[in-house]
Structure 1
């Protein structure tokens, strides 16, 4: 998969539909004939949109590392809660977000699509901005130094 990156500001209508910007839609064209998977994020109050082929890879990792105990079964239940396969209309680039997921993420009219390599996070704009502001510049710089092994 070609890395999908970028932040896209969009609007959701009253029925939970979002028209993807043309530039993002074009990056997703190789996957338009397949379904996408939309689900709750594990660590954040947003949704994740995955090309189904990529989500299948994630599920293979989960199942390989998981096992079969009660804790794993509860994890799997929560991990897949609300998960739905959804199409993106290849002509219009329209995505219909299921109501239960729309409500979970607290989405309103202003929505941010934050593309991160092989998934797209779907955020309420105000919540997205709040999360960005929650990490101080010093924390961000320290994390960047750790990730990129920057010597002082």
Structure 2
């Protein structure tokens, strides 16, 4: 399992090419051969960059869903909408397709933020807004999510 660390600012050019920070490049080096999957996030107006091995783990779970149940089929369609396979070029850039740039409102200033095993790609202003809004509720959220469990249960 991949364990990515860090939040970094970078820029996207007019064609949607994004220069990945050298710190992320180092962490992603062992995964470059397999490539990545880029998709719309489910809960936020950002993109998610999955190393291929992480994407395959998610797909194993999704492939177990019964497609003759309408809500499962609807979920699969929405979850995979706009999914693209992307590669990092020799310069350390990833090309974000126009439809995904539009979804995440990515223009020039971008934030790459680790979310354990994936990287979230945000428009910088949108990222700052979401982080600021979440600050007020974070203590309650942390207590609710992490406070009622033993550390042993998390492993």
* TM superposition shift of 1:136: 4.2
Map of 1:141 onto structure 2: 139
What secondary structure is seen at the aligned counterpart in 2 of 1:13? coil
1: CA distance, partners of 2:86 / 2:23: 20
Seen in structure 2, the aligned counterparts of structure 1 residues 147 and 75 have a Cα distance that, compared at 3 Å, is: closer
In the alignment, does 2:121 pair up with 1:122? yes
The normalised TM-score by structure 2 is: 0.89
Contact 2:12 2:108 (C-alpha < 8 Å) held by counterparts: yes
Instruction: Work out whether 1:83 is the aligned partner of 2:83.
Output: yes
> How many aligned positions are there?
147
Unaligned runs of 5+ in 1: none
Aligned with 1:10: secondary structure?
strand
Name the counterpart of 1:103: 102
Name segments (4+ residues, structure 1) moved above 6 Å. Answer: none
Q: Root-mean-square deviation (CA), in Å?
A: 1.4
| Structure 2: stretches of 5+ with no match in the other structure | 149-155
Query: Secondary structure of 1:5's match?
Result: coil
Shift of 1:113: 0.4
Q: How does 1:10-89 map to 2 (within 5 A)?
A: 10-64=10-64, 66-68=65-67, 69-89=69-89
Per-residue displacement from partner, 1:21-55 (whole Å, max 9, x unpaired)?
11110000010111100000011100000011110
CA distance in 1, matches of 2:72, 2:51: 24
